[in-house]
A and B are shown apart, each in its own frame.
Chain A
Amino acid sequence: MRSLAKWGVAACAVVAAGVFAGAAQAADTIKIGTFLSVTGPASFLGEPEKKTLEMYVERLNKDGGVKGRKVELVHYDDGGAPDKAATFAKRLIQNDNVDIIIGGTTTGTSMAAIKVVEPAGVPFISLAGGIDIVDPVKKWVFKTPHTDRMAAEKVFLDMKKRGLTKIAMISEDAGFGKSGHDQSLKVAGIYGIQIVADEVYSPKDPDVTAQLTKIKNAAGVQAVFNFGFGQGPAIVTKNYKQLGMSLPFYQSHGVASKDFIKLAGEASEGIRLPAAGLVVADQLAATDPQKPVVTAFKKEYEAAFKSDVSTFAGHAYDGLQIALAAILRAGSTDKEKVRSEIEKTSGYVGTGGLVSMSPEDHMGLSLSAFRMVEVRKGDWVLVD
């Protein structure tokens, strides 16, 4: 049994070695913690988020940091697993002693981390879409992306304008699509929209023509709305065209990246979706306050990584800017001060839109932050 004792000691030593490495740091650096889903099903969201944070933190340090204080980024990959996210949040707070946390790629990982962040009292800016993150308002929790409910509202508003009232929904059965679906059902009535067919698919289904056939044959459908992200919506779009369906087709903000158009190809022609100004940076009016911000970010990101900018990268950028501005205004990294400064964020123009937070609103975006875009000739075109 001595062997067992040895193992125990060895295990403790290994963990301690791995973990202490991060603990001893100069006291006056600003420590920003982040946990993102860099691997796993949401990796194409987490990856650009991580790259963005790293790039801007590095740039900031090169320019002398925040009032002379260097910024240090501590990152962990939660693989998209909520319980791992909670553990990493705990690690960031307890072991790395971070001043603020920016992260949480998905709603599930963010919600799990909230259970750790709230009692510990550390400001947390989530990068996920779910409305549950900030509704009801939690003292220490903020978020930068638009909510799924807003996306649904924006889509329904557009449908109403076009006189479409009976629609079919098809949504992904994973977190993003499921939550978006539920929010859509909640707000549909307000806009006089009636959902007459309701189908789901799994994110990795090779073919969804069966579900679409059901929708096609449902009586009275005037438009179709798909809530999902990743390759799923691209497959739905291709199958939609395969079946020769020509009803107006809406997607969610989950596909607001060039990759979607690339994957779905010609089939994506004519699709409408709500998106942040970032994806149509060049088409914004010169007077648009967002124009300089999004054009600059797009240019910097694309120059640094040689890949198309996505709104997800923008969420991370906004989160970082809001955090840094709050720390500057607070004049310290005192957690309560920073928290209340984040809450006072007002008139910040980010990639997602105009952000004005309040004690009752920890996101601060209004419906006008969303633009309705349409795919035409393989590119996004602003339609309102």
Chain B
Amino acid sequence: MWKTARIGGLGALALILVLAPLGFPNAYFYDIAVKALFNAVVCIGLNLLIGYGGQISLGHAGFFALGAYGSAILTVTYKLPALPAMLLSALGVGVLAYLIGRPILRLKGHYLAMATLGIGIIIHIVLKTESGLTGGPDGMGVDPFSVMGFTMMGDRMWYWAAAALLVLAVWLSLNLIDSPVGRALRAVHGSEVGAEVVGVDTSSYKVMVFVVSAVFASLIGSLFAHKDGFITPDIGSFFRSVEFVVMVVLGGMASTFGSVVGAIILTLLPQVLTVVEDYEAMVFGGIMMGTMIFLPKGLLPSLVAGLRKRGGAAQ
């Protein structure tokens, strides 16, 4: 039952991703779509931590930025090929997340939020200050992504790569959730003490998802750097971290597809809201509040529950 639903979901997602470009009249639409899909992958990783692990992180943009700058510096300054640079950056971020994850994941709730926020801000400050390496607040240019003579050019090519990546990420996430690890995580979320009592090594599971989510962010950060061709420390700011969390929560915590929906909607929203001009911030904030007040479980889970209810009533 669970297996078929999973395959069905993946199939539907793949189908939407294949059909969506039919509605894209120009490269700008592809560009926005790529950004939405990139964010979706980061959010899938973050959702493992927030939705399933029950641990908040207000510093994930820091890992995203480290991935981006890692790739940028290794390829531009040290002339490394893009793929090893990306993997090396992700490895570095993974190790960093492991090292800081162990002590800080002992913290709970708002204290953990503070600690992750602090780490994100420290990363941001380092990127801003070490201008010899990073170009400082005004940013640095990055070369296009190329593997063995093949160069990723244009928004269309990036779209298909991002779409493939998203399907892969969703598949990985669904499998992880369905594995013993996932069950242990849900136990941690439900009651950490309870989980410990029945013999779950909660801290190592928490650290594991923290590392996985950081690596997701780093990999996407690397790709983002190559795609946009120009990065500034701004991509690692506190606001971006908050943005990722909002995407996850708005879409629906503990729902992989919910994270995808949340990421896509919040990436598109600012583009749509340009029509309200000066009222953009008000409308945006209002939508955020309204969604969380009326659909506290997030968009997708509430929607699914609503449909079920209606279906049930009809029968």
Contacts and interface: CB of A to CB of B under 8 A. Distances in A.
Check if A and B associate.
yes
A12 interface: yes
Interface in B1-35: 5, 8-9, 12-13, 15-16, 20, 23, 25-29, 31-32, 35
Interface string A79-105: 011111011001101110000000000
Nearest to B154: A119
A1 B137 CA distance: 44
A175 B128 CA distance: 9
A82 B8 CA distance: 39
Interface residues on A, range: 35 or more
Contact of A16 (B23, B31, B281): B23
Contacts of A130: 138
Given A11-B264, A19-B271, A115-B228, A94 B139 contact: no
B234 A81 contact: yes
Given A8-B20, A112-B232, A15 B272 contact: yes
A5 B12 contact: yes
B300 interface: yes
B75 to A, nearest CB: 15
Contact of A112 (B8, B230, B280): B230
A39 B230 CA distance: 21
Given A3-B303, A90-B27, A111 B139 contact: yes
Contacts, number: 130
A300 interface: no
B306 to A, nearest CB: 9
B129 interface: yes
A83 B228 contact: yes
A87 B32 contact: yes
B92 interface: no
A1 B230 contact: no
A112 B307 CA distance: 43
A314 to B, nearest CB: 22
A185 to B, nearest CB: 11
Contact of B137 (A93, A115, A175): A175
B136 A179 contact: yes
Contact of B274 (A18, A23, A179): A18
Contacts of B257: 4
Interface string A1-40: 1111101100110111011010100000000000000010
Closest 4 pairs between A and B when the two form their complex, measured CB to CB: A94-B28, A18-B272, A175-B137, A115-B229
Given A3-B303, A108-B234, 8 more contacts: A15-B268, A76-B274, A82-B234, A83-B234, A108-B232, A111-B138, A114-B230, A173-B128
Interface of A: 1-5, 7-8, 11-12, 14-16, 18-19, 21, 23, 39, 75-77, 80-84, 86-87, 90-91, 93-95, 107-108, 111-112, 114-115, 130, 132, 173-175, 178-179, 182
Interface of B: 5, 8-9, 12-13, 15-16, 20, 23, 25-29, 31-32, 35, 128-129, 131, 136-139, 141, 224, 228-232, 234-235, 257, 261, 264-265, 268, 270-272, 274-275, 277, 280-281, 300, 303-304, 307
19 contacts: A4-B16, A11-B264, A11-B268, A19-B271, A21-B275, A80-B234, A83-B228, A84-B270, A95-B26, A108-B137, A108-B234, A111-B139, A112-B139, A112-B228, A178-B128, A178-B136, A179-B136, A179-B138, A182-B136
